[in-house]
Amino acid sequence: MAPSTIINQTTLPEGYHFSKFRREEMEFVISRTDTPRTEETLARLGCLALRYRAPSAGDAEKTRAEGEGKREGGEEKGELIAWAFLGVDCSLSSLHVEPQHRGKGLAKSVTRKLFEELAKDPLSVGFRPLEGHTVADGVKTRTE
């Protein structure tokens, strides 16, 4: 496909918007996976949340005035329905979309947006590499 015909996959259906996580949501995220994770570990990894808020009659004007997905005071609004986390090596390590929101391309959108933001500025998505971490840490070699 020619670059000029590629569709922007980060365009979201009405009512959905990207956001940051709130610290109190980490327990909910952990409850949705069998992969053992701690809040501390998740807080160190780059991540992006996707929220849904059913549109209402007055939302169009409020959204233009306040900015997408924000309420007064800058706090994110809407239900957390999807997320993507990076691993310590910047690979995608966790991706989830709540069952009732699947089939809309949201997993692709949140992944693409996460990597777009990572390419611009790793700190913008909260990515902080673990100090002293290397691929070989804890791996035994044949000579040991």
For 13-55+62-125, which CATH class? Answer: alpha beta
pLDDT in tens, 82-101: 999 999 888 999 999 999 99
Count other C-beta atoms under 10 Å from residue 17's C-beta. Answer: 19
The pLDDT of residue 128 is 78
| pLDDT for residue 137 is more than 60 | no
Q: Where are the domains of the chain?
A: 13-55+62-125
User: What's the per-residue H, E or C state across the chain?
Assistant: CCHHHCCCCCCCCCCEEEECCCHHHHHHHHHCCCCCCCHHHHHHCCEEEEEECCCCCCHHHHHHHHCCCECHHHCECCEEEEEEEECCCCCEEEEEECHHHCCCCHHHHHHHHHHHHHHHCHHHHCCCCCCCCCCCCCCCCCCC
Q: Which of 90, 99, 122, 124 is nearest to 18 (CA)?
A: 124
pLDDT in tens, 8-34: 557 899 999 999 999 899 999 999 999
DSSP-assigned beta bridge partners for residue 18? 50
The pLDDT of residue 80 is 97
Task: Say how many residues make up the chain.
Answer: 144
Of the candidate ranges 1-10, 23-32, 105-114, 118-127, the one whose mean pLDDT is the lowest: 1-10
The pLDDT of residue 76 is 74
Q: Positive or negative CA dihedral for 60, 65, 69, 71? A: negative
pTM, two decimals, is: 0.73
| pLDDT tier for residue 56 given thresholds of 50, 70 and 90 | confident
| pLDDT for residue 130 is more than 80 | no
